């Protein structure tokens, strides 16, 4: 299975192809060294006066897999949707506090929301390919950010499909509808589509829960592969998945962050009683 | 046999009888039109405009009405799409699901949907008079556009309302603005757009009351938007009003042509949409 996974080239070598994404090329070349940064301070979020997230303070480590765990309804997905402000479309939502992505406060009215979302890729629970061909699914993001050069697009499509191990499977049918792919392939396509706009973070909301075990394993392996270049934030219901791949763990309960820290510490030596109970399976 | 199986058998027979009944009506209508119209149909009918005394059995054809109807249908379908796509996009992408404005707008479109075309005709006619306009092709196109916009909007909206939230989210997550999602939205609702267009075209080409005051009727083919235009339904009406049986038969031929045009447009529409909707998820 691992043989399918294409070794990512270093970011620096991509810089030329992706220069359209950021005019600041000099800056891009140093990206491999640059730290991506996501910090949440005093985040409170209410939906129609229901307090969903309570005083959340977090830091997401770069180039690691961070798993957010916790029982259903504890606000994991809401927190994830707040990171790229997809939560804005929810009726009656109000938030206070701040989330810093690199040097931008995402709640600042002056911050361009599309800029934030470009930095933060999203992989949803069910694969959601765009109603287009396989090729256009990947090219769409680049096109909306201004890249229309066919040659460059071809290159990006090939690279990203290789990065998710899909190239060999689809290279002869790039113009067929993405909906014709199997569900596992669709999810990898969605991952590739997100990678094509060169994010710094990847958010995954239970991205493997709708998949068969083999596809699910493949996605997990991809995450491990991709953490060299991206900070990956994973919401998961499967504790075992978190145990397998997490470097950093955040445990949430009823909208509060109960415990956060390196996976080893949280799993083997939880400081909070609640965390201990959750890990023992006392509730889920 | 258990009661529930008997129940199912009865229900199934009722469904079949009703379906056959409706199909029977359609077959009957088409048969009547074919029986009376086909013998009267000749090349002159579709290649010539009426000559002197046409409505009393003189020579000529109804090319004026065929061309007039096509002008009005194509013009109004184009304008209708132009107006309704932004409206549907706004209602479904820009407004939140429980928006009051969207609710009121949808209610308004439902009311407009139910207004008879003669009222649209009368309404447009008063406006045309106040503007000093005469009956004209332009007036006909405008009133038919008004008539079909609610059909366009409501039938596209029914499809657009089911746009998966995940699909929009996935597009936003790539850094798209709301406007930039339009390509995704249009591709996803393409079958809805096709259905809406076919419904609208069917209504537009068959409408007589709306165009009576606004497009008028003429024996010549309009060469500009300001000239009056003939339409097929009115042509059918005028020929059917004749006491002369031969002219009445021509009315059936005209109806046959009308149905044929609708059929061609429907099939073309389906073929085109199938090409566009193959990517739908």
pLDDT of residue A149 exceeding 90: yes
| B164–A131 C-beta distance less than 8 A | no
Closest in A86, A115, A178 to B172, CB measured = A86
Contacts of A145 in chain B (CB under 8 A): 175
Mean pLDDT of A143-156: 93
**pLDDT, tens only, A101-135:** 888 899 998 889 898 899 999 999 899 999 999 99
What is the total residue count of chain B? 281
d(CA A259, CA A238): 17
How many other CB atoms are found less than 10 A from the CB of residue B226?
A: 13
3-class SS of residue A97: strand
Mean pLDDT of A58-74: 90
3-class SS of residue B230: coil
Per DSSP, B279 falls in state G
pLDDT, residue B254, reads 92
Can you say whether residue A12 is alpha, beta or left, with left for phi > 0 and alpha for psi between -120 and 50 degrees? alpha
Cα distance from N-terminal residue to C-terminal residue, chain B:
43
Question: Is B4 within 8 Å of chain A by CB?
Answer: no
Per DSSP, A6 falls in state P
Closest of A230, A245, A205 to residue A31, by C-alpha: A230
Q: Is there a contact between A43 and A99 (Cβ–Cβ < 8 Å)?
A: yes
Query: Where do runs of H (alpha helix) occur along chain A?
Result: 11-14, 25-29, 76-83, 113-119, 134-144, 150-163, 167-170, 183-195, 213-226, 239-245, 263-268, 273-280
Number of A/B CB contacts below 8 angstroms equals 80
Mutation site, B162, B174, B277, interface A, largest A CB count within 10 A: B174
pLDDT, residue A10, reads 44
d(CA B105, CA A121): 35
Q: Is there a contact between B242 and B252 (Cβ–Cβ < 8 Å)?
A: no
Q: Rounded to the nearest 5°, which phi and psi values hold at A201?
A: -120, 150
β-pairing, A38-47 with A256-262?
unpaired
Question: What is the Cα A239 distance to its own chain's centre?
Answer: 18
**pLDDT, tens only, B98-156:** 889 999 999 999 999 999 999 999 998 898 889 888 899 999 999 999 999 999 999 99
Mutation site, B171, B173, B181, B281, interface A, largest A CB count within 10 A: B173
What residues are paired with A99 via a beta bridge? A40
d(CA B92, CA B80): 18
Question: Is B97 within 8 Å of chain A by CB?
Answer: yes
Closest of B37, B78, B41, B30 to residue B263, by C-alpha: B30
Higher pLDDT: B239 or B52? It is B239
Q: In this structure, what token pair is assigned to residue A86?
A: 């997809």
3-class SS of residue A38: strand
The CA distance from A158 to the nearest CA of chain B, in Å, is 18
Question: Is B170 within 8 Å of chain A by CB?
Answer: yes
**Percent of chain B topping pLDDT 70:** 99
pLDDT of residue A5 exceeding 50: no
| B174–A118 C-beta distance less than 8 A | yes
Average pLDDT value over all residues in chain B:
90
Question: Is B100 within 8 Å of chain A by CB?
Answer: no
How many other CB atoms are found less than 10 A from the CB of residue B4?
A: 8
| A194–B175 C-beta distance less than 8 A | no
Q: Is there a contact between A104 and A116 (Cβ–Cβ < 8 Å)?
A: yes
Q: Is there a contact between A6 and A19 (Cβ–Cβ < 8 Å)?
A: no
Closest of A265, A123, A278 to residue A188, by C-alpha: A123
d(CA A5, CA A212): 18
Q: In this structure, what token pair is assigned to residue A199?
A: 């994010």
| B96–A144 C-beta distance less than 8 A | no
Mutation site, A128, A136, A160, A194, interface B, largest B CB count within 10 A: A128
**pLDDT, tens only, B210-251:** 898 899 898 889 999 989 999 999 999 999 998 988 889 889
**Residue B281's pLDDT band (cuts 50, 70, 90):** low
Q: In this structure, what token pair is assigned to residue A266?
A: 């949280």
Which pTM was predicted?
0.82
**Percent of chain A topping pLDDT 90:** 60
Contacts of A115 in chain B (CB under 8 A): 175
Domain ranges of chain A: 2-27+63-81+114-280
Question: Which residue bears the tokens 């005209």?
Answer: B254
Label residue A225 exposed, middle or buried (CB < 10 Å: 0-12, 13-18, 19+).
middle
**CB-hemisphere CA count at 13 Å for B249?**
13
| A130–B184 C-beta distance less than 8 A | yes
d(CA B199, CA B265): 11
pLDDT, residue A204, reads 93
pLDDT, residue A283, reads 77
**Residue B51's pLDDT band (cuts 50, 70, 90):** confident
pLDDT of residue A23 exceeding 50: no
| A121–B176 C-beta distance less than 8 A | no
Q: Is there a contact between A132 and A177 (Cβ–Cβ < 8 Å)?
A: yes
Closest of A37, A103, A163, A123 to residue B173, by C-alpha: A123
| A130–B171 C-beta distance less than 8 A | yes
What residues are paired with A262 via a beta bridge? A248
Q: For A2-27+63-81+114-280, which CATH class?
A: alpha beta
| B169–A115 C-beta distance less than 8 A | no
pLDDT of residue A16 exceeding 60: no
Predicted-complex ipTM score:
0.83
Edge-to-edge, what's the strand order for the sheet holding A120-123? A120-123, A201-205, A231-235, A65-69, A248-253, A256-262
């Amino acid at each position: 299975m691992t043989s399918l996974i294409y070794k990512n080239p270093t970011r620096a070598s991509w810089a030329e192809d992706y220069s359209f994404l950021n005019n600041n090329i000099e800056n891009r070349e140093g990206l491999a060294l640059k730290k991506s940064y996501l910090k949440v301070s005093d985040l409170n979020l209410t939906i129609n006066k229901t307090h969903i997230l309570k005083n959340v303070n977090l830091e997401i480590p770069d180039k690691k897999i961070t798993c957010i765990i916790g029982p259903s309804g504890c606000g994991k997905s809401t927190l994830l949707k707040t990171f790229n402000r997809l939560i804005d479309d929810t009726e009656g939502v109000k938030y206070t506090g701040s989330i810093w992505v690199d040097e931008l406060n995402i709640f600042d009215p002056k911050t361009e929301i599309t800029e934030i979302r470009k930095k933060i890729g999203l992989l949803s629970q069910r694969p959601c390919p765009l109603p287009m061909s396989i090729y256009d699914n990947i090219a769409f993001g680049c096109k909306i950010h201004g890249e229309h050069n066919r040659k460059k697009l071809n290159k990006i499509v090939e690279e990203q499909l290789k990065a998710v191990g899909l190239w060999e499977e689809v290279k002869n049918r790039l113009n067929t509808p993405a909906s014709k792919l199997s569900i596992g392939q669709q999810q990898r396509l969605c991952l590739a589509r997100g990678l094509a706009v060169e994010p710094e973070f990847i958010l995954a909301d239970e991205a493997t829960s709708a998949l068969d075990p083999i596809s699910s394993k493949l996605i997990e392996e991809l995450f491990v592969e991709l953490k060299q270049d991206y900070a990956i934030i994973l919401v998961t219901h499967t504790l075992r998945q978190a145990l397998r791949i997490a470097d950093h763990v955040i445990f949430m309960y009823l909208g509060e962050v109960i415990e956060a820290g390196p996976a080893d510490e949280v799993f083997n030596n939880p400081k909070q009683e609640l965390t201990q109970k959750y890990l023992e399976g006392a509730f889920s | 046999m258990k009661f529930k199986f008997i129940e199912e058998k009865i229900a199934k027979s009722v469904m079949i009888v009703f379906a056959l009944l409706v199909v029977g009506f359609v077959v009957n209508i088409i048969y009547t039109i074919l029986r009376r119209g086909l013998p009267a149909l000749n090349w002159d009918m579709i290649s010539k405009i009426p000559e002197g005394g046409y409505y009393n059995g003189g020579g000529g054809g109804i090319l004026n009405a065929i061309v007039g109807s096509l002008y009005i249908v194509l013009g109004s379908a184009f304008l209708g799409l132009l107006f309704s796509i932004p409206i549907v996009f706004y209602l479904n992408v820009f407004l939140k699901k429980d928006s009051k404005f969207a609710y009121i707008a949808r209610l308004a479109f439902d009311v407009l949907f139910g207004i008879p075309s003669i009222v649209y005709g009368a309404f447009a006619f008063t406006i045309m008079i106040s503007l000093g306009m005469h009956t004209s092709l332009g007036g006909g196109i405008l009133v038919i556009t008004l008539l079909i916009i609610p059909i366009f909007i409501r039938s596209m909206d029914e499809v657009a309302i089911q746009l998966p939230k995940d699909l929009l989210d996935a597009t936003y997550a790539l850094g798209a603005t709301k406007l930039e999602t339009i390509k995704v939205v249009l591709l996803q609702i393409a079958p809805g757009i096709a259905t809406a267009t076919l419904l609208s075209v069917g209504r537009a080409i068959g409408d007589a009351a709306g165009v009576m005051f606004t497009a008028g009727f003429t024996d010549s083919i309009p060469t500009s938007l300001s000239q009056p235009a003939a339409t097929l339904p009115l042509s059918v009406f005028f020929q059917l009003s004749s006491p002369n049986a031969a002219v009445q038969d021509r009315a059936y031929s005209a109806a046959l042509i009308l149905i044929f045009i609708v059929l061609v447009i429907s099939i073309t529409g389906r073929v085109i949409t199938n090409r566009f909707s193959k990517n739908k998820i």
